[in-house]
Chain A
Amino acid sequence: MNMNRRFFITLTGAAAIAWEHVLAGAPEASPNYKMADHWWAMLIDVDKCIGCGNCVRACSVENNVPEGFFRTWIERYQVDDMHIEDPLVDSPQGGMHGFPQRAPGTGLTGNSVKEFFVPKLCNHCADSPCTQVCPVGATFTTPDGVVLVDEKYCLGCRYCVQACPYGCRFIHPEKNVAQKCTLCYHRITKGLTTACCEACPTGSRQLADLKNPKDPIHEFMKLHSVQVLKPQMATGAKAFYANLDGSVR
């Protein structure tokens, strides 16, 4: 890359201003962010996921996720159309380093087998069972629809981990408090997208703001069928999946 010095100095100034905005420390310091104006969700197009694991790695780095635990992960499905309630599923290290091709002889074979990847994360449920059972109010839904954990207040009783139908919560091995995907709240309140969406190379994952009339999710949901995971649990999940197969657990 070639850049002359004058160009560089001008751009440094512009970059510095842009970065100041990014580094603003709190919602009050980004005075344009009002919680009531937003209702966060995520749109995932299963057909676009290539199982590269970028999202898992990016999330892990962005949020300092302890090793062996996952705020987001990818599952690989193999489905035989004679037994769609019996998929073969794996998620080696959450898909963090991608997925090795299955060795011959392992896994399902035949004409009627299809395979695909499904990214998973906290669904930031509008009627969240995890916030319902928290005994002290250490996990809660913000006015803009993000389910967060108050690490200073959580007493590590693990009731929320039991109550989550999706397996997205865990206990931090050192801090001994509940942890989960925060929808990169520290980024989305500053106009950035989540780390997983930033890193996704195919656009399979898209952050969505349901209260923003210009958000592409509105048009998308008009034209496509979307589902949520485990709809029978009536959690008001806000991770919407397009092209989700019926075999997905």
Chain B
Amino acid sequence: MNRFKDAEHLVRVAAVFLVGVTLFLCFRAWFVPKSFGEYGHYRGDSIAEVAALPIVHAGHETCEVCHQDVFELKKAGKHAGVNCEACHGPQAKHADDPGSVKPVLPDTAVLCARCHEANSAKPKWFPAVVTAEHSQGLPCNTCHTPHSPHIGDAPAAKEEKK
């Protein structure tokens, strides 16, 4: 009995610690998000949140649903592997509401040079020109049809400019 009396203050300390730990565990149970740990050490709901972010590029499969004719023209030519939005920019809004959201046609003098301007770092197989010498400032679609640009490829359709 005597021994306990002299160590009693240590018991009080232990009690304080115990209360602290208990409070912490209660707070933890309340505060940690419910989906935490669902798949691993993270908030499981976060995966769905990222997957629900807005889409900005429609993707060429969506474009092809309406623009089948362009797709037919393109797939036989040199730009077969170039997707629509690579040149036309993101068009999810247009695909969502084709009637009222009209994409702006890119200016070929600027657009084509992005890929085809000559640069010593570009791979040798890639067709590139020094545009100042090649076209003397004329827009590229003066001679080339962008959807099937190689002159002499069939079909050499004459595309109407909008």
Are A and B in direct contact (Cβ within 8 Å)? yes
- Residues of A with Cβ closer than 8 Å to B? 1-2, 11-12, 14-15, 18-19, 22-23, 25-28, 35, 47-54, 58, 61-63, 76-78, 98-99, 101-102, 115-117, 137-143, 148, 150, 152-153, 182, 185-187, 189-190, 192-193, 195, 198-203
B126 on the A face (CB < 8 A): yes
B69 on the A face (CB < 8 A): yes
With A1-B69, A19-B96, A142-B39 known to touch, is A199 a contact of B46 (CB < 8 Å)?
no
Q: Are B39 and A137 in contact (CB under 8 A)?
A: no
Q: Are B83 and A198 in contact (CB under 8 A)?
A: yes
CB distance from B37 to the nearest CB of A (A): 9
Number of A-B contacts (CB under 8 A): 164
Task: Give how many B residues have a beta carbon under 8 Å from the other chain's beta carbons.
Answer: 55
- Residues of B with Cβ closer than 8 Å to A? 33, 36, 39-43, 46-62, 65-67, 69-70, 79, 81-83, 85-86, 89-90, 92, 95-96, 98-99, 114-115, 117-123, 126, 159-160, 162
Q: Are B57 and A115 in contact (CB under 8 A)?
A: no
Q: Which of B46, B70, B83, B120 contacts A1 (CB 8 A)?
A: B70
Q: Are B120 and A102 in contact (CB under 8 A)?
A: yes
Q: A residues within 8 A CB of B159?
A: 1
With A15-B62, A202-B81 known to touch, is A51 a contact of B122 (CB < 8 Å)?
yes
Q: Name the residue of chain B whose CB is nearest to the CB of A195.
A: B57
Nearest 4 CB-CB pairings of A with B: A140-B42, A115-B121, A150-B46, A186-B53
